[in-house]
Copies of this chain bind each other. A is one copy, B any other.
Amino acid sequence: MKEILANLQKRVDINERQLERLLEAFVLTNDFWEAIAISRLPFNTVVEASRQLYSEGIISFEDAGRVVLTEKGKSLIDIEKYPPSNYICESCKGRGVSLEQWQELLEDYRRTVEGRPEPLLEYDQGYLTIDSTIARVAFADGKGDIRKRRIIILGDDDLLSLALGLSRLPEKITVLEIDQRLIEFIERVAKERKLNIEVLKHDLRNPLPSELLGKFDTFFTDPVETLKGLEVFMARGIASLKGEGCAGYFGLTTAESSFKKWRDIEKLLLNEFGVLITDILSDFSLYENWDYLLDSIKKDLPPLQQKPEALWYRSSLFRIELLEGYKVSNEEGQGEIYLDEESIAWSGRENR
C-alpha cells in the first residue's frame, strides 16, 4: 500500500485514508461515476489516480466502462473498515428535513420547469433535482429564512426562484443571472403565474449595483467552485444582505473542490468575511446529469466514454450567518473564475 501511495502521490494530492476510501468505493460499486461520489475526492483526482491504478493492475475495466478492483487491488485493503451501508435515512434521503408538507409545491414546480433550458458549459451550469431544490426551500424555511423575507439568488440555473415564487412565502425574490435563456424562462413563468420575481441581467464578476446593497434577508447561490469564483459569489451574497442575523446558502461539491479547497473556503468565510458557518450538511443536494459532460473532459479511460446513469454529482449545503464584525466587499472580480485544475472541465479545456 505504501509503495502504491507513494507512486500516486507523485501525480495527485491524495492521502492514505483517501486512497483506502477510493479502493473501497470500487468494491461498493462498479459504476465509476458513483465511485467518485463515494470517494469524496475530486473528479480529476479520481481520474488521474485511476490511470495509475489501472497501469499497476489494481483496477480493471469491463464492458460498458464498468470498473472492478482486481485481486491485487482487493489484497491492499481491509473491506471491513467501511460499513456495508451508510445508514442514510430513507424518508428524508439523509437531509433531515421532511418534504411531506411540500408535496403540492413539489409537483407544481416539477410541471412548471418542464422545458427549461439545458445546461451550458460556458456558464458552468448544471441543475439540482426537483427534490433537492424543494429540500433547500424546506430547510431554509425551518431556519426562518424564507417567509416574508427578501431573497436574492445569485445565478439561477436551478430555477430556485420559481420554487420560492410558487411557494408564495417570500416577500420578494430577486434573481441575478447572466444567461439570456434562463432570464426569459423565469420572466415568462413569473408573468404567467404572477410570481413576485424580479430578474436582472448581471455578470457576478462585476460589483453589485448599489440599489441591491444591504437589501436582502437571505441569499442562495451554487457558486463556481474555483477559489476566485467562490470569493466573488460570497462577496456579492454578503454585500446584498441587510445585516446581522441574515443568512446565505450555498452548495459545495467534493467532485470539483478538494477538502483543501474546502478549508480555504472556510477560512475565507471566517477570516475575510467574518461570517459564521452554522450548518454543513454532507451531500444534501443531487444534480441531474448534464449533456455537455463528456464533451468537456479528456476521454482516455473507458468509463469516461460512457454517460453516467447514477446521480453522482452532489453538493453539501452550507449555511452562513452574519454576526457583528462581518465585512462587506463589492469589488470587481479579476481574471478567470470559471476554471481551475479541480474543475471537471479542466482536462478537456484544450479541445475547446
A142-B21 in contact (CB<8A): no
A270-B266 in contact (CB<8A): yes
Chain B residue with minimal CB distance to A85?
B101
On chain B, the residues within 8 Å of A245 by CB distance are 15-18
Q: Does A180 contact B (CB under 8 A)?
A: no
Q: Does A299 contact B (CB under 8 A)?
A: no
Q: Does A259 contact B (CB under 8 A)?
A: yes
On chain B, the residues within 8 Å of A98 by CB distance are 87-90
Q: Does A213 contact B (CB under 8 A)?
A: no
A323-B263 in contact (CB<8A): yes
> Taking A97-B94, A271-B271, A279-B282 as contacts, is the C-beta distance between A147 and B81 under 8 angstroms?
yes
Q: Does A172 contact B (CB under 8 A)?
A: no
B324-A15 in contact (CB<8A): yes
A144-B82 in contact (CB<8A): yes
Among A78, A101, A147, A275, residue most surrounded by chain B Cβ atoms (within 10 Å)? A147
* A67 CB, min distance to chain B CBs, angstroms: 20
B260-A323 in contact (CB<8A): yes
On chain B, the residues within 8 Å of A96 by CB distance are 88-89, 92, 94-96, 281
Contact of A87 among B24, B90, B141, B148 (CB under 8 A): B141
On chain B, the residues within 8 Å of A148 by CB distance are 78, 80-81
* A314 CB, min distance to chain B CBs, angstroms: 14
Cα–Cα distance between A51 and B188 once the two chains are bound (Å)? 52
Cα–Cα distance between A87 and B97 once the two chains are bound (Å)? 5
Cα–Cα distance between A279 and B81 once the two chains are bound (Å)? 21
Among A15, A89, A98, A270, residue most surrounded by chain B Cβ atoms (within 10 Å)? A89
The digit string for A267-303, where 1 denotes a CB below 8 A from any CB of B, is 1001100111111111000000000000000000000
Cα–Cα distance between A77 and B17 once the two chains are bound (Å)? 51
A83-B147 in contact (CB<8A): yes
Among A24, A94, A148, residue most surrounded by chain B Cβ atoms (within 10 Å)? A94
Report 12 cross-chain contacts, Cβ distance below 8 Å, ordered by A residue.
Answer: A15-B245, A16-B245, A83-B144, A83-B146, A87-B97, A89-B98, A90-B98, A92-B92, A94-B97, A262-B278, A266-B276, A271-B271
9 further interface pairs, Cβ-Cβ under 8 Å (given A80-B147, A87-B139, A267-B271): A15-B244, A16-B244, A24-B144, A81-B147, A94-B97, A96-B281, A262-B276, A278-B280, A280-B280
Chain A residues in contact with chain B, CB under 8 A? 15-18, 21, 24, 78, 80-83, 85-92, 94-99, 101-102, 138-139, 141-142, 144, 146-149, 243-246, 259-260, 262-263, 266-267, 270-271, 274-282, 321, 323-324
